[in-house]
Amino acid sequence: MRLLIRFVKQAQRRTQIRPIRHYNFSTVSDLSGTLRDDPKGDTSCAWLCGSSPHIVESLREFVDVQVDFISEEEQQVLMRELEPGLKKKRYEFDHWDDAIHGFRETERVQWGAACEAVIRRLRAHAFPQGSQLLGPVHVLDLDKAGFIKPHIDSVKFCGTTIAGLSLLSDSVMRLVHEEEKTEWVDLFLPQRSLYILRKEARYKYTHEIMKDAESFFAGRRVPRQRRISVICRNLPE
């Protein structure tokens, strides 16, 4: 079954982009070109690296990762609410041309009180005030072997901003410029973090979630387990 929420405009052939050089920086004006010891240990900007300092700097205002956006307890509450419904579905692996491989998904409009509070906090944080939001929240459950191929969410159904919570597993999201395939950034998404893609990052770059075998951030392995994302979007203006 195809959910209305499947906003994917295009599932591109996987581009073989091997990160050759990595850059990381602590603030926009401090392009150190060095890597931090522990991407999780510093919440300033240790979650962003890319093909060049220029591309990292130019995308910085359009991407954000809030580490520890939810607590362990909130993750458990979300899982308790989502797991029964997800477990009834089977992971889909067989559509080779789909943008997403090894997934099951659902949409949710109504939440229990504790989850509702998290969703409200997420929306207040990620979206401009007065933004028209898409009602249903998209819940995407990726199997350990699952991954999301490069795509751009449909501009017809979804507005400037995509905000997603990552549950259960750390992962790497790669953004690749739609035309200049050598221009890319990687976002390190620890479990319980919130990522936000805005404007250029959402319109001009494809995004993807790396499969386990290719899940590296700045040369460091980021093992991929089963991962659930809880994604909120706004409506086009």
Nearer to ligand OGA (CB atom), residue 24 or residue 191? 191
Q: How far is the CB of 196 from ligand OGA (least distance, A)?
A: 11
Residues 131-160: x/- map of binding to ligand OGA (CB under 6 A)? ---------x-------x----x-------
- Residue 150 binding target from ligand OGA, Mn ion, none, CB below 5 to 8 Å by type: none
Residues 116-155: x/- map of binding to Mn ion (CB under 5 A)? -------------------------------------x--
Contact 138, 195 (CB under 8 A): no
C-alpha dihedral, 95 to 101 to 103 to 108, nearest 10°: -90
Nearer to ligand OGA (CB atom), residue 25 or residue 82? 82
Among candidate residues 145, 197, 208, 149, the one with its CA nearest the CA of residue 174: 208
Residues 196-215: x/- map of binding to ligand OGA (CB under 6 A)? -----------x-x------
Which residues of this protein are in contact with Mn ion, per CB under 5 A?
A: 153
